[in-house]
Amino acid sequence: MKLDPNKSPAPQEPEPTTGSAPAPVWLFVLVALLAFWGMGFLDSHGGGFDARVYAPYNSAKEVEDEWPKSGAGAAFARGELVYREVARCILCHQPTGLGSPGQQYPPLAKSEWVLAREPGRVIRIVLNGLQGPITVTGQQFNSNGMVPWRDTLTDQQIADVLTYIRSEWGNNAPEVKPEQVKAIRDKTAGRPGQWLADELLKVLETE
């Protein structure tokens, strides 16, 4: 018998289809347990998702506790940074603190203005700058103008840099506190322009 190609073949069994069977319960339990363990691991090893926390530390507070928090040592180090990098006092007053007498920049080392027991005057100088004639360590300077830092530096930064210049280069004057800077900043707020040395000499030494 010959097969006729045009004739449809005899009916076949239908193709198998996918059915559905319930997933085993233990699989869900396992996934849930894994997720729980994973979250716990992330929580204890993630460092609170703080970019400053690396192993073996677990939180920013833990890292912070390792550093000396306060004291003159920390203020001194921060002040040195302000002196060198932030305000760049170093450009005129030099790494030695001796200034550049040739260009009328007075010294900070052994300067009676810096070493005064109460920092009232030197805080004013940093806040508003200074110009005109001034006598430092017995030498006459005709300052062509120190820049005001009132708007650039914070109270903390001014206190730090003053603490630094008051204890570097053999200087030995007490630390300056940010509160002292703030008090004088508020008192002299709205004062235009730079100080003259004569004006500063009128400020009480006990301030």
| Burial letters 105-144, b for 16+ CB under 10 A, else e | bbbbbebebbbbebbbbbbbbbbbbbbeebebeeeebebe
Q: Closest distance between other proteins and the C-beta of residue 123, in Å?
A: 22
Of how many residues is the chain composed? 207
Q: Which is nearer to other proteins, 40 or 133 (CB)?
A: 40
> Minimum Å distance from CB 164 to other proteins?
9
* Residues of this chain that bind other proteins (CB under 8 A): 49, 51-56, 63-64, 66-68, 74, 77, 80-81, 83-86, 90, 95, 168
b/e per residue, 26-49, with b = 16+ CB within 10 A? eeeeeeeeeeeeeeeeeeeeebee
Output the smallest distance, CB 41 to other proteins, in A.
14
Q: Rounded to the nearest whole angstrom, what is the least distance from the CB of residue 146 to other proteins in the complex?
A: 21
- For the CB of residue 200, give the shortest distance to other proteins in the complex, in Å: 28
Give min distance, CB of 124 to other proteins, in A: 25
82 vs 181 by CB, closer to other proteins: 82
Output 94 or 131, the one with its CB closest to other proteins. Answer: 94
Q: Looking at beta carbons only, is 77 or 201 nearer to other proteins? A: 77
How many C-beta neighbours within 10 Å does residue 82 have?
A: 25
101 Cα distance to chain centroid: 33
Tokens of 69: 């928090």
Q: Pairing mode, if any, of strands 195-196 and 139-146?
A: unpaired
Cβ-based nearer residue to other proteins, 84 or 182: 84
The full 3-state SS of 42-104, as one line of letters, equals HHHHCHHHCCCCCCCCCCHHHHHHCCCCCHHHHHHHHHHHHHHHHCCCHHHHCCCCCCEHHHC
Nearer to other proteins, 95 or 145 (CB): 95
